[in-house]
Amino acid sequence: MAKRKQKRYFFTVVEEVIMDPKYQHFRGGRIEVYDRKDKSGYACYEARFFIPEEFIDSFRETWNFKESDEMPFIHWDYSEVEKGNNEKSKNKR
């Protein structure tokens, strides 16, 4: 079986502890982007996230250990959260 060619960039999801009990049903952290051509060992880009905990499994599945040949630009759309339209999360507080 032929070995799959690795793409230039790969992503990892890093969760961080949320200490405020007010946000106990949320998960936060960052997606780190690594460039295989950069030998420093540090991420070349990162995007922060703060999401309701019911989405963390699908979020990880979407981002963790994915690869790309294009440098990503990750942009979140906060409009639903800002409007308070996330009923599931509001009901858990």
What's the farthest any 2 CA atoms get from each other in the chain? 51
Instruction: In whole angstroms, give the CA distance from residue 16 to residue 38.
Output: 25
Per-residue pLDDT of the chain (93 residues; tens, 9 = 90+): 678 889 999 999 999 999 999 999 999 999 999 999 999 999 999 999 999 999 999 999 999 999 999 988 777 766 555 555 544 444 444
CA dihedral (15, 17, 23, 27) in degrees, to 10, reads: 10
Task: List the helix and strand counts (H, then E) for the chain.
Answer: 3, 4
Q: pTM for this structure? A: 0.72
The alpha carbon of residue 34 and the mean position of all alpha carbons in its chain are separated, in whole angstroms, by 13
Q: Identify the DSSP state of 65.
A: T
Q: Is 42 helix (H, G, I), strand (E, B) or coil?
A: coil
Residue 58, C-beta contacts closer than 8 angstroms, at least 6 positions apart? none
Task: Delimit the domains of the chain by residue range.
Answer: 9-85
